[in-house]
Amino acid sequence: MGDIFSNLGLGFGVVFQLVQWTPAFLGGVSIPIPVNILLCLIGALVGTLVGVLPGIGTIATVAMLLPITFGLPPVGALIMLAGIYYGAQYGGSTTSILVNIPGEAGSVVTALDGFQMAKQGRAGPALAIAAIGSFFAGCVATVLIALLGAPLTKIALAFGPAEYFSLMVLGLIFAVVLAKGSVLKAIAMIVFGLLLSMVGSDIETGASRMAFNIPELADGLGFATVAMGLFGFAEIIRNLDAGGETDRQLVQQKVTGLMPTKKDLIASAPAIGRGTVLGSMLGILPGGGATIASFAAYTMEKKLSKTPSRFGRGAIEGVAAPESANNAAAQTSFIPLLTLGIPPNAVMALMVGAMTIHGIVPGPQVMQKQPDLVWGMIASMWVGNLMLLIINLPMVGIWVRLLRVPYRLMFPSIVVFCSIGIYSVNNAPTDVMLAGAFGLVGYWLIKHDFEPAPLLLGMVLGPLMEENLRRALLISRGDWSVFLTRPLSALLMAIAAALLVLAVLPSLRKKRDEVFVESEN
Amino acid sequence: MSDTPSHAPVNSILPKWIRGPQDFIGGLALVAIAVFALWASSDLQGMRGFSFGAGTAPRMFAFLLLGLGVAVMLVGIVTEGAHLAKYHWRGPLFVSLAILSFAFLIRPMGLIVTAFSSFLISALGTPETKWTETIIVAVCLTAFCSLLFPYALGLPLQMLPKFMIR
């Protein structure tokens, strides 16, 4: 217990760190500046700003804003990225409540009741409850991460290559089972991602693999490049297809009366609690994440409610539960990343990309060697949530105005912004072209109903999986049964197999689809 | 992902026994990618005793993708599924052109010219563009980017065309 407090203390120490700033114009007087808090604030603000733009989801927002953190020191960069992530998520819910255009799958359910509330002139309370619920969930999740971080790291250190490999298989299977759409197609996308990750030079022999003597490919496909193409450019092209201006039913009433009534608070308090618990659990699972959490929380609220007919007509619980759940899940999904080094979803995969750029290999070692980084990030989560609560509610008016920016002006700006971002990673024009190519690939994938998120996950896990597979087989002298004879590995593999079987069983499939279909009728 | 029309196109080139053309073509493309990867990694070393060669893992994943692609194709044949979505050319074409022009111009012409021209090219991607408004926004965005990236974020970007700075 004492450990946790000292660790959190270290974390808050990092977050509140003051850096002396001695500007020339003050003539040698130095001002202490809380740099990391500022970065967290800027991240949350910019994340909300971009996340609020309709049609831009969380993954796209984080991918687009990744380059602006490259110039920062690692701790600051990760704190800012985490801020961007929460900001983007909150921005997404703002859009769904006010315009009925969920920026991403996770906020689809928020739109159901949130937009109805907005139409009834209760946009203020809806936004406030979303923020309060998120903040509460964020607090609980922060404590949970602090509690689970250290023990899980200890377990992780006992893992051998065989266990690691099995764990990653389990994670990928979870990602498939919990995702929307066809299981088969999702697996195909993961394998496509694994294959893409093989481009570049082999870790052990240094042999160039599938690089066709193109110097820019020698180090492999840049992660930021692919993410930006698949999520940034592809989304733009797809939105152009749909016709940017068509269904923008922006709520015209002025957003007044921000504070929820006492009745609202009483109605939503249990929903927030349940959403937080459910979200935290689903977030820790590899493959879990914000999307499934909000769907599940909404379904549960509706099942538990005495008056389920109110849902879809502006029930405040229908906003409170999914919003708390997705924020809790967004945070607890950092647990597998920080302790095991395995990203459980696409956003965390982007975090791995960012860490790698700063020369950090995520995993149990980071927890021990760079505790300031890990605990600083954890503490910054709480601070970030507080910032969201403080800055967003007063700024709702600005976000509403942003929503009125027409798409015809927005998308060229995003194209330019993304291009500069990609170019600045390596100062390589080839990267920009590659991202463009992946934009077209992403557009094609969307047209054929393939989800790009599992692809990204596969791409990040590819090198890790190969390395561990190779090591495990080397240690076992080529014996493949090692994955089944080591007890822990066998257990993980068995869970993975059972999940996969369950997922394709018709009865469970129906139930799983039910959860997602909820949003469509 | 609801841009797939449910009604059948009038003259589909695919034979009638393919009941889910969207999946069928999707699977076919995955197979093509897998075959390409197998060819591209064919020059790499395979297993040496019980240790992996450089080519082992790529080939393993490629074979897996091949199998999955075939499975997706089979699903497309056997089960009733969505028809091919309609592709539009305008958006993809001009957005791609804008990205390409960015890649080619950024080195010789610097950020200001490149950002401005890429903005205008991608604006061609929708018929809704109103040019006066677009040009004003393009100027503002170019100014914003030339302040944000090099100064606020400290990224080493060249601003002006090469022939002007020499």
Q: Quick one: CA torsion of A262, A268, A270, A274, rounded to 10 degrees?
A: -160
- Residue A281 within any structural domain of the chain: no
What is the number of structural domains in chain A?
Answer: 1
Nearest to A130 by CA among A303, A360, A316: A316
B34: chain A residues, CB-CB within 8 Å = 195
A436: chain B residues, CB-CB within 8 Å = 95-96, 99-100, 103
Cα dihedral A349, A354, A356, A361 sign: negative
What's the maximum distance between 2 C-alpha atoms anywhere in chain A?
Answer: 74
Per residue in B13-52, pLDDT tens? Answer: 677 777 888 888 899 999 999 999 999 888 888 777 777 7
Q: What are the average pLDDT values for consecutive 10-residue runs of chain A, which has 521 residues?
A: 73 76 66 81 87 75 82 85 86 78 68 81 82 88 83 79 86 76 86 91 80 80 84 83 55 61 82 89 72 80 80 83 87 83 81 82 79 82 82 74 76 86 83 92 89 84 86 84 86 87 69 56 41
Residue A352 domain boundaries:
2-19+32-259+345-517
Q: Quick one: CA torsion of A162, A168, A172, A178, rounded to 10 degrees?
A: 110
Place of tokens 């330019």: A416
- Residue A496 within any structural domain of the chain: yes
Q: Averaged over B77-94, what is the pLDDT? A: 82
Q: How far is A451 from chain B (nearest CA, A)?
A: 9
Confidence of residue B96 (pLDDT cuts 50, 70, 90): very high
- Residue A141 within any structural domain of the chain: yes
Cβ–Cβ < 8 Å for B146, A420:
no
Which value does ipTM take for this structure?
0.88
Q: How far is A415 from chain B (nearest CA, A)?
A: 7
Cβ–Cβ < 8 Å for A68, A421:
yes
Cβ–Cβ contact B136 with A under 8 A: no
Please report the pLDDT score of residue A101 as a whole number: 65
d(CA B166, CA B162): 6
Cα dihedral B1, B5, B8, B11 sign: negative
Angle, in degrees to the nearest 10, between helices A183-197 and B56-78: 150
**Cβ–Cβ of A209/B100 closer than 8 Å?**
no
Q: How far is A447 from chain B (nearest CA, A)?
A: 6
A265-302: buried (b, 16+ CB within 10 Å) or exposed (e) per residue? bebbbebbbbbbbbbbbbbbbbbbbbbbbbbbbbbbbb
**Cβ–Cβ of B26/A440 closer than 8 Å?**
no
d(CA A52, CA A39): 19
Mutate to test the interface with A, among B52, B111, B132 (most CBs of A within 10 A): B52
d(CA A82, CA A40): 8
Please report the pLDDT score of residue A12 as a whole number: 79
Confidence of residue B65 (pLDDT cuts 50, 70, 90): very high
- Residue A320 within any structural domain of the chain: no
A254 token code pair: 């002025």
Please report the pLDDT score of residue B162 as a whole number: 78
Please report the pLDDT score of residue A214 as a whole number: 80
- Residue A330 within any structural domain of the chain: no
B148 token code pair: 């944000």
- Residue A311 within any structural domain of the chain: no
Cβ–Cβ < 8 Å for A194, A462:
yes
Q: How far is B96 from chain A (nearest CA, A)?
A: 6
Cβ–Cβ < 8 Å for A86, A130:
no
- Residue A427 within any structural domain of the chain: yes
d(CA A189, CA A184): 9
- CA A130, A227, A497: angle at the middle one, nearest 5? 80
Please report the pLDDT score of residue A195 as a whole number: 92
A358 CB-contact burial (10 Å; exposed 0-12 / middle 13-18 / buried 19+):
middle
Cβ–Cβ < 8 Å for B83, B4:
yes
A444: chain B residues, CB-CB within 8 Å = 29
